[in-house]
């Protein structure tokens, strides 16, 4: 494998984290790799900026990078939104946390809501997923799921905290 291809697969798969669930379960469609990618995003949080504005700038810069990586990985895997691509779950979960405190409640609520929205793909997420191609199409549905999860976490915090 060429070094560039290895680097793209490494980044798109979350350091090959997405390969683990498929190897364990043997499933092809519902591998659990999205869950693994979201867990990785959660585990990476302590390494990221804690200041909300700096974190938002980081995510804004990571967004085009993730689109580019997802686009290259999609070409390497020869399929749109291959389950091994989890960089979309990473940016999606981080989007779910934008401008929220990093408390246990917020981290857990964002995690659960993001996974539910990413899996169920309510309107307009499913429409975007199917109507936009390339790396942008792979990333945008997860970012939108993250934004919806963010709003729902804010609502839950107002109601229950």
Which pLDDT tens digit goes with each residue over 47-57? 999 999 999 99
Identify the three-state secondary structure at position 122: coil
Contacts of 84 (CB under 8 A, 6+ apart): 9, 12, 13, 18, 19, 22, 33, 73, 77
Please give the mean pLDDT across all residues of the chain.
93
Predicted TM-score (pTM) of the model is: 0.94
- Give the CB-side neighbour count of residue 31, counting CA atoms within 13 A: 21
Give residue limits of the domains in the chain. Answer: 3-160
CB 152 within 8 A of CB 160: no
Q: Cite the DSSP H helix spans in 78-161.
A: 87-96, 104-120, 125-131, 134-160
pLDDT per position as a tens digit, 75-123: 999 988 899 999 999 999 999 999 999 999 999 999 999 999 999 988 8
CB 9 within 8 A of CB 73: yes
Contacts of 75 (CB under 8 A, 6+ apart): none
CB 56 within 8 A of CB 98: yes
């Amino acid at each position: 494998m060429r070094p560039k291809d290895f680097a793209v697969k490494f980044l798109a798969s979350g350091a090959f984290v997405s390969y683990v669930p498929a190897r364990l379960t043997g499933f092809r469609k519902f591998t659990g790799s999205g869950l693994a990618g979201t867990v990785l995003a959660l585990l990476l949080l302590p390494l990221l900026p804690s200041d909300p504005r700096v974190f938002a700038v980081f995510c804004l810069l990571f967004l085009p990078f993730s689109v580019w990586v997802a686009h290259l990985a999609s070409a390497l895997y020869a399929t749109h939104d291959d389950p091994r691509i989890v960089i979309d779950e990473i940016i999606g979960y981080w989007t779910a946390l934008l401008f929220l405190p990093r408390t246990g409640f917020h981290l857990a609520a964002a995690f659960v809501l993001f996974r539910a929205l990413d899996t169920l793909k309510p309107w307009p997420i499913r429409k975007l997923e199917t109507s936009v191609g390339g790396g942008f199409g792979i990333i945008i549905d997860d970012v939108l799921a993250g934004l919806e999860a963010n709003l729902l976490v804010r609502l839950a915090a107002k109601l229950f905290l």
